[in-house]
């Protein structure tokens, strides 16, 4: 129905006004009860040709006269003084236009509508604002009191200076080490040697010697009364009768030029002690880089013509010691040794160490400042049980 009405009105807009009444009469039939009341249009004569633009006119239609209507002129309100002054002020000179033409355009601004908060939310915000206002008033009151106090008592405000950042060294509190006597130290070391092998009892002596001075080196040799507890292999560089004596007393390796050449070509050694005669010493120096610390030395008694006695001492327990970085490290026996045996070995070593004091070391007394500390420990030192300091 809506579509039909739309087509009807669209067709009506294209028909001239004179034909609208005729069309209306033609479409009123479905709404009338009888056909007698419907006026019939008179037939047009066939002799007169009608153009396509000609529209049939209704003869019963009476023209309507249009009466002219006139309205009174609405009076225009008189402008106020402000408007007149504004109109008079809008006239610009050429100088004014020179500056006004580049002025930015100003447009009206619009803002989004603000939504009022809920009553409970507005109440909470009011309490917070009230609390903030109270705190702000309290702060201002305190600042005013402070200003009055400084003004009355003439207090000079200290300048706020930020210190330059520096590194703070944390002082580590070192735990005081307990000093034991020799007998108690030996007992403690033996009690804490709990490995599944026979540990070596070691001594570490810190000497008060400047390591930069080469003329103050400390080295020597001592025969321990009860030996070191190790099986020592001794090599002897000798020839002739001296070589036969060395073999007779139990030297493990004996030889002359052939032994030197063998060590030089292989670069390996398989002995713990090295003894040489005076005649062989000049040739032994050729392999000094290979022997290193085992190179025979007259101060330690390993360069001698009495080969038999030297071999016996080495087998019995000749201990060579040498200072390295102002510290002497030596092994003085096994943890399985009796306490008396360890005590005698330590005493023999300390006596030899004191005798090896360099002559150039000037101290207030004979041994003052020579030995700083003496530590005793086993091969494997536990963290909870460090080396023992002996008095």
The pLDDT of residue 167 is above 80 = no
pLDDT score for 349: 92
Calculate what percentage of the chain has a pLDDT beyond 70. 64
pLDDT score for 116: 62
The bridge status of strand 371-377 relative to strand 200-207 is: antiparallel
Name the more confident of 121 and 6. Answer: 6
The pLDDT of residue 140 is above 80 = yes
Strand partners, 222: 319
309 found inside a domain: yes
Average pLDDT over residues 271-286: 88
The bridge status of strand 388-390 relative to strand 371-377 is: antiparallel
57 found inside a domain: no
Domain CATH code at residue 263: 3.40.50.790
334 found inside a domain: yes
- Of the residues 315, 347, 375, which one is the last residue of a structural domain? 315
Q: Are residues 322 and 209 in the same domain?
A: yes
Domain CATH code at residue 225: 3.30.190.20
Q: Are residues 211 and 358 in the same domain?
A: yes
Q: Are residues 207 and 344 in the same domain?
A: yes
Q: Is the pTM of this model over 0.75?
A: no
**Residues 336/195, Cβ–Cβ less than 8 Å:** no
Q: Are residues 361 and 219 in the same domain?
A: yes
In the chain, which ranges are continuous DSSP H helix? 2-13, 17-26, 81-89, 94-100, 119-153, 182-192, 241-248, 257-266, 278-284, 288-291, 307-316, 339-355
Q: Among 82-91, 167-176, 305-314, 334-343, whose mean pLDDT is lowest?
A: 82-91
Q: Are residues 241 and 301 in the same domain?
A: yes
pLDDT score for 27: 47
**Residues 301/221, Cβ–Cβ less than 8 Å:** yes
Count of domains forming the chain: 2
Determine which helix (DSSP H) or strand (DSSP E) holds 369, and give its type and residue range.
none
Residue 344 banded pLDDT, cuts 50, 70, 90: very high
142 found inside a domain: no
The pLDDT of residue 289 is above 60 = yes
Average pLDDT over residues 299-322: 84
Instruction: Enumerate residues 6+ apart whose C-beta is below 8 A from 263.
Output: 269, 287, 290, 291
* Helices 241-248 & 307-316 angle (0-180, nearest 10): 30
Average pLDDT over residues 171-190: 79
pLDDT score for 389: 62
CA angle, 145 then 150 then 156, to 5°: 145
Choose among 222, 217, 231: nearest CA to 203.
Answer: 222
Q: Are residues 310 and 323 in the same domain?
A: no
The pLDDT of residue 70 is above 60 = yes
pLDDT score for 360: 75
Q: Are residues 224 and 235 in the same domain?
A: no
- Write out pLDDT tens, residues 191-232: 888 888 888 899 999 888 887 887 788 888 888 888 888 888
Residue with tokens 């090896």: 356
Sheet with strand 234-237: strands edge to edge: 253-255, 234-237, 273-276
Q: Among 80-84, 249-253, 297-301, whose mean pLDDT is lowest?
A: 80-84
Name the more confident of 375 and 5. Answer: 375
Q: For the CA atoms of the chain, what is the radius of gyration?
A: 64
Q: Are residues 243 and 224 in the same domain?
A: no
- Three-state secondary structure call for residue 202: strand
The range of the structural domain enclosing residue 371 comes to 177-229+317-391
190 found inside a domain: yes
- Of the residues 269, 295, 315, which one is the last residue of a structural domain? 315
Name the more confident of 320 and 153. Answer: 320
- What is the average pLDDT score of the chain? 75
370 found inside a domain: yes
Q: Are residues 307 and 343 in the same domain?
A: no
Average pLDDT over residues 324-350: 90
126 found inside a domain: no
- Of the residues 315, 334, 351, which one is the last residue of a structural domain? 315
- Write out pLDDT tens, residues 15-59: 555 555 544 444 444 444 444 444 555 555 444 444 444 455 566
Query: How far is it, in rounded angstroms, from Cα 254 to Cα 240?
Result: 11
The bridge status of strand 388-390 relative to strand 179-180 is: parallel
Choose among 322, 347, 314: nearest CA to 230.
Answer: 314
Q: Secondary structure of 277-337 in the HEC alphabet? A: CHHHHHHHHHHHHHHHHHCCCCCCCCECCCHHHHHHHHHHCEEEEECECCEEEEEEEECCC
Q: Are residues 384 and 340 in the same domain?
A: yes
pLDDT score for 383: 44
* Helix and strand element counts for the chain (H, E): 12, 10
95 found inside a domain: no
Q: Are residues 321 and 355 in the same domain?
A: yes
Q: Are residues 258 and 389 in the same domain?
A: no
The pLDDT of residue 306 is above 70 = yes
């Amino acid at each position: 129905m809506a579509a039909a009405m739309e087509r009807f009105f669209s067709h009506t807009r294209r028909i001239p006004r004179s034909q609208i009444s005729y069309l209306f009469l033609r479409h009123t039939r479905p709404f009338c009860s009888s056909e007698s009341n419907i006026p019939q249009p008179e037939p047009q004569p066939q002799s007169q040709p009608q153009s396509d633009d000609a529209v049939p006119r209704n003869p019963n239609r009476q023209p309507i006269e249009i009466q002219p209507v006139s309205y009174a002129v609405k009076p225009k309100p008189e402008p106020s003084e402000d408007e007149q002054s504004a109109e008079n002020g809008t006239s610009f000179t050429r100088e004014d236009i020179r500056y006004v033409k580049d002025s930015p355009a100003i447009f009206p601004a619009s803002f989004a509508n603000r939504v009022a908060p809920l009553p409970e939310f507005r109440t909470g915000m009011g309490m917070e604002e009230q609390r903030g206002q109270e705190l702000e008033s309290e702060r201002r009151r305190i600042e005013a009191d402070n200003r009055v106090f400084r003004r009355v008592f003439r207090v000079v405000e200290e300048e706020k200076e930020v210190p330059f950042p520096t590194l703070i060294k944390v002082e580590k509190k070192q735990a005081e080490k307990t000093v034991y006597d020799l007998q108690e130290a030996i007992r403690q070391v033996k009690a804490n040697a709990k490995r599944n092998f026979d540990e070596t009892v070691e001594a570490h002596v810190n000497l008060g010697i400047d390591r930069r001075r080469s003329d103050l080196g400390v080295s020597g040799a001592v025969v321990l009364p009860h030996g070191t507890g190790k099986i020592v292999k001794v090599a002897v560089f000798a020839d002739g009768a001296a070589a036969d004596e060395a073999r007779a007393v139990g030297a493990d390796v004996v030889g002359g030029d052939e032994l030197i050449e063998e060590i030089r070509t292989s670069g390996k050694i398989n002995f713990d002690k090295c003894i040489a005669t005076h005649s062989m010493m000049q040739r032994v120096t050729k392999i000094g880089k290979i022997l290193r610390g085992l190179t025979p030395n007259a101060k330690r008694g390993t360069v001698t013509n009495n080969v038999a006695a030297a071999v016996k001492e080495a087998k019995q327990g000749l201990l060579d010691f040498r200072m390295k970085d102002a510290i002497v490290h030596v092994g003085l026996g096994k943890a399985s040794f009796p306490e008396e045996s360890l005590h005698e070995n330590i005493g023999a070593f300390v006596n030899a160490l004191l005798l090896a004091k360099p002559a150039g070391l000037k101290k207030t007394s004979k041994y003052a400042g020579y030995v700083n500390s003496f530590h005793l420990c086993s091969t494997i030192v536990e963290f909870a049980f460090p080396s023992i300091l002996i008095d």
